[in-house]
A and B are shown apart, each in its own frame.
Chain A
Amino acid sequence: MTLRSVFARFGLIIIIVMFFSFFSYVSPVFLTFDNQVNIIEASAIVLILALGMTLVVAMGGIDLSIGIAFDFGAAFAVVALKDFGAAWYVACLIGVMGGALVGLLNAILIVGLKISPFMATLGTFFVGSSVERVFTNGGGPISYRRMPQEYRDLAVGDVFGIPTEVIIAAAVCLVYFVVLERSIFGKRIHAIGLQKDAANVAGIPVRRYMFVAFILASATCAIGGLIGSANIRMFTPLAGFSYLLDAIAAVFIGAAIHPKGRPNVIGTLVGVLFLGMIGNGLNLMGLDFNLKAALSGIILVSALALAVAQQRFR
């Protein structure tokens, strides 16, 4: 094994370790237990959205409307609590269904009308953004200070000292791992993503699977919206958009560290934590937080270049 091939295989892991060591060295706070918990907690919502994205990308698509699904989840739940006095768990269910509506629209556009996922979800993103603005008379938040404590606890509560949002994200992650990496549904999703025509000839009902997957992904993103709205006790229109780029980056970083270059749940988890670490580290160093996007971009591009190099050196 030459140095180049080692780097090609483990390059991204090396970069991650290097950043980790660097931040530990320059900031005394970085390595503390509390700060590590901070990173994980701040990554919870991104992870949930990135998992939904992983499902779609594994199937060979992309979903630019995950932010809308996030917002719809929050909006439906907050309105159910505030205007209809729904119980917290009913509100959660309604929120998830609100997100699923976004996925349904995507599924109809992509599977029914055969529009490419990029264009279809971009359209959904535009329409959804506009709907949110109209619904809130121009984009003002819908706040509900007196929301039930149980709902509030989705974001600020803890179980045995572990923040609830981390537990929820971990649970979603576990479910996604089983579904995408261990179940026959996941195997078929991967087959569709790798070679749609071959999957079709093998008798996999490709259209049905794609339909279900887009709805599942959006419903998952809505869970992120529930936590987000519980945290600030309001629905803020267009809040979900800020997660889109991180989610995409995390999925592709995750694919780049997979031995066969496939989008996968563990990889996405690593990608999300990595991006969280970068944001946190830059913050502690007193550097402009806005540099994070630039770094994410550079890291993503290097990760993809490395993935190409991996193919060549294998």
Chain B
Amino acid sequence: MTDTLLKMCDITKSFPGVLALDAVDLEVERGEIHGLVGENGAGKSTIIKVLAGVYKADGGSVDIDGETLADVTPRSVHDAGVRFIHQELHLVQHFTVTESVFMGQEEQTLLGLSARAMRAKAEAFFETALGTQLSGKTLIRDLGIAERKLVQIARALIDAKAKLVVFDEPTAPLTSGETDKLFAAIRKLKEQGIAMIYVSHYLAEITDICDRVTVLRNGQNAGRFDDVFDNSAPAMISAMVGREIDELFPTTEHSAAAPRLEIQSLCADAFNDVSLTVHRHEIVGIAGLVGSGREDLIDTIYGLKAPSSGTLKIDGIAQRFRAPSEAVAAGIALVPRDRRHDGLVLDMSVSDNVNLAALDSVSRWTLENRRASHAVATEMSETLDIRPRNIAATARLLSGGNQQKVVLGRWLNKGADIFILDEPTVGVDVGAKVEIYQHIENLAKDGVSVLVSSSDPGELIGLCDRILVMLRGKIVAEVSTTDLGVDTLVALTTGGAVQEVAV
């Protein structure tokens, strides 16, 4: 029985300089869960936004329930029964569950809001449609993230007119237990005949929950799987990256010297039982999807967040950082992922930013020696080729690559034994990228220990000696980068190959 609910045909969309979608087809049948997978930039979110009416397609047609939509706008799509569950929650912390579900679609009588009726309706919806118990009086801030997701779903579906629900990375912030909860709700919706498009990076989830899967690559259809089995993941990955999966080479080589940075069974909210070591001269990578716990791990090592248990040793001495200042004093430097927010004081000059961590060294009697600080900044901007070569320029006005060099220059100036780089080349142009890689290599050559966290598999393979792979808060694999292929790393980070890998 084929009963097509949504048919998107030959969808083409280009942005200045980029063909984001090139004649992409997407078909969803009534009552099925349809997976949509692809690497970053493959066009997943673009086609979702075309369907949502956020982007206007340059060409192609959208049919819902056999009728062609003349004009795809947020309004017309909503009227046709399509609902979107966005990645972000957009819920008000201090609202109750009922208030959140009915926000913007409140029911009222002449006597004002019918609070009791709405609450009963919300609670009944959670019970029958999502198969869970949730009190309408609970405040959003007291809910777990999975429950908030359910509130978000209820808000989209409470009018009972939905035919197709689009989930965009619904499980990214969830732990595996919470994911099961969400999946139960999704399966319950499927029983009610509601079709779903499920966008996710987690291939293990895709094979678990989806009936059919469409794979995109570089804005084109790269394959469709009409029968999804638990072991379809490798085939999907090769469709995603366009190559076959390589063999895996577990690492065996370890330097004999004692490690500089040693972490033993570190635990926090977002990750569990993480152990790792970084030696002198070594560049170690951490791979993982957004939400894998990678970011929290970096923050915890640097003292931005507190671990719940576990130890962190530097040169064999146990440390406990209550603030980054203590981590810096112990010889750690962080190039943060959000350089505009955490890396630079944007309204200060290049010189001030370069000197910010090591002001003591350019001061006399606690007064800033401007000649010395300017000399340091000038030297750094020469060494790193920071453009414009004007140390008085406000950091805000620099390009992404040059801003990143300023952050790097600060720590080169300060001198640290352990460099942690979080997404070091996001928003950095290609030329600056190569230079930054070169400086990282030089640091390792000089005996510095480097830890790189990145969502770019190619970057990690090119830069690192070995890579630790994080998935849902755990380190699931450690691989040497010798002969490591991008597709293998992608398979590991997406959970598409966990079964085959001995951890």
Contacts and interface: CB of A to CB of B under 8 A. Distances in A.
Interface of A: 178, 182-185, 187-188, 190-191, 194-195, 197-208, 260, 262
B157 to A, nearest CB: 38
Nearest to A197: B342
Nearest to B338: A197
Contacts of B116: none
Given A195-B341, A199-B345, A204 B356 contact: yes
B228 to A, nearest CB: 43
Contacts of A182: 367-368
Interface in B293-312: 302, 304
A6 B368 CA distance: 33
Contacts of A198: 341-346
Interface stretch (B69-77, B202-210, B357-365, B438-446): B357-365
A292 to B, nearest CB: 33
Contact of A200 (B304, B346, B347, B368): B304
B348 A183 contact: no
21 contacts: A183-B366, A184-B359, A184-B368, A187-B352, A188-B359, A191-B352, A194-B345, A195-B346, A200-B324, A201-B324, A201-B336, A201-B342, A202-B345, A202-B357, A203-B324, A203-B357, A204-B325, A205-B323, A205-B325, A206-B325, A208-B325
A202 B329 CA distance: 11
B323 A191 contact: no
B396 to A, nearest CB: 10
Contacts of A188: 356, 359
A298 to B, nearest CB: 28
A206 B342 CA distance: 13
Contacts of A208: 325
Nearest to B394: A260
B356 A202 contact: yes
B410 A178 contact: no
A199 B356 CA distance: 8
Contacts of A201: 302, 304, 324, 334, 336, 342-343
A202 B336 CA distance: 10
A200 B299 CA distance: 12
Given A195-B346, A203-B328, 8 more contacts: A182-B367, A184-B368, A190-B348, A191-B352, A195-B344, A201-B342, A203-B414, A206-B325
B324 A191 contact: no
B368 A202 contact: no
B376 interface: no
A154 to B, nearest CB: 28
B366 A185 contact: yes
Nearest to B322: A207
Given A178-B367, A185-B366, A260-B347, A202 B352 contact: no
Nearest to B356: A202
Nearest to A201: B342
A293 B323 CA distance: 44
A194 to B, nearest CB: 5
Nearest to B343: A198
B199 interface: no
A184 B368 CA distance: 6
A202 B367 CA distance: 19
B359 A203 contact: no
B325 A184 contact: no
B470 interface: no
Contacts of A190: 348
A201 B367 CA distance: 22
Contacts, number: 81
A204 B342 CA distance: 12
A204 B356 CA distance: 8
B413 to A, nearest CB: 11
A208 B346 CA distance: 23
B327 interface: yes
B355 to A, nearest CB: 8
Interface in B391-428: 394, 410, 414
B39 to A, nearest CB: 30
Contacts of A202: 324, 328, 345, 356-357, 410
Nearest 6 interchain pairs by C-beta: A203-B328, A184-B359, A205-B325, A202-B356, A195-B345, A201-B342
B324 A194 contact: no
A191 B336 contact: no
Contacts of B348: 190-191, 194
Contact of A184 (B336, B342, B366, B414): B366
A8 B66 CA distance: 60
A203 B329 contact: yes
B323 to A, nearest CB: 6
Nearest to A181: B368
Contacts of B346: 194-195, 198
A194 B323 contact: no
A206 B345 CA distance: 14
Nearest to A193: B345
Nearest to A261: B347
B368 A207 contact: no
B368 A187 contact: yes
B297 to A, nearest CB: 16
Contacts of A187: 352, 356, 359, 368
B299 to A, nearest CB: 10
A201 B323 CA distance: 9
Contacts of A203: 324-325, 327-329, 357, 414
A131 B97 CA distance: 43
Interface in B344-393: 344-348, 352, 356-357, 359-360, 363, 366-368
Contacts of B336: 201
A183, A190, A201, A204 pick with most chain B CB within 10 angstroms = A201
Contacts of A185: 366
Nearest to A262: B347
Interface in B455-475: none
Contacts of B410: 202
A200 B367 contact: no
Contacts of B360: 184
A207 B414 CA distance: 21
B448 to A, nearest CB: 17
A184 B21 CA distance: 53
Contacts of B325: 200, 203-206, 208
B367 A184 contact: yes
Nearest to B299: A201
A182 B357 CA distance: 16
A188 B360 CA distance: 11
Contacts of A205: 323, 325
A205 B326 CA distance: 8
A24 to B, nearest CB: 38
A184 B363 contact: yes
A204 B323 CA distance: 9
